[in-house]
Amino acid sequence: MKKNLKYFIDALLFVEITSIAAIGLLLAFVIPAGRQAEGNKYFLGLHRHDWGDIHLYLGLLFLALLGVHIWLNWTWITQATKSYVGEYWKNVLWALCSAWLLVVFAAWLIVRF
């Protein structure tokens, strides 16, 4: 059962990331940004802002699925970390999590200011 759930989550993650990438490329290269004629900002009947909303919601769903993926694979993560770094595996995992939070915070600061 857990193996089937892992496969299902991984398949959803693949669909999510490819969808996010496709919509990101669509927003970057197909639908014009800025001051354009209003008719140019539609693709498949959806406005550029609608595509941006879909992109955002898919990204949030991706983060939720990623959390489930990490939770389902936590035993493997800890065992692999133990085999690579030995007795300091908890410190290494804490450092990785902290580094990730620092990167997210730095990105927020850059975008915010």
Q: Kindly report the CA angle at 80 between 79 and 86, in degrees rounded to 5? A: 80
Specify the pTM: 0.75
How far apart CA 46 and CA 50 sit, in angstroms, is 6
What b/e readout covers 30-50, taking b as 16+ CB neighbours within 10 angstroms? ebeeeeeeeeebeeeeeebee
pLDDT at residue 9, as a whole number: 93
What is the rounded end-to-end Cα distance, in angstroms, of the chain? 47
How far apart CA 8 and CA 90 sit, in angstroms, is 29
- Mean pLDDT in consecutive groups of 10 residues from the start of the chain, 113 residues: 87 94 87 67 78 91 93 90 86 90 93 84
The DSSP letter of residue 88 is G
Dihedral pair phi/psi, residue 42, rounded to 5°: -110, 145
pLDDT at residue 61, as a whole number: 94
Domain segments of the chain as ranges = 1-72, 75-113
> Which pLDDT tens digit goes with each residue over 57-84?
999 999 999 999 999 998 998 898 888 8
pLDDT at residue 110, as a whole number: 92
Dihedral pair phi/psi, residue 43, rounded to 5°: -145, 125
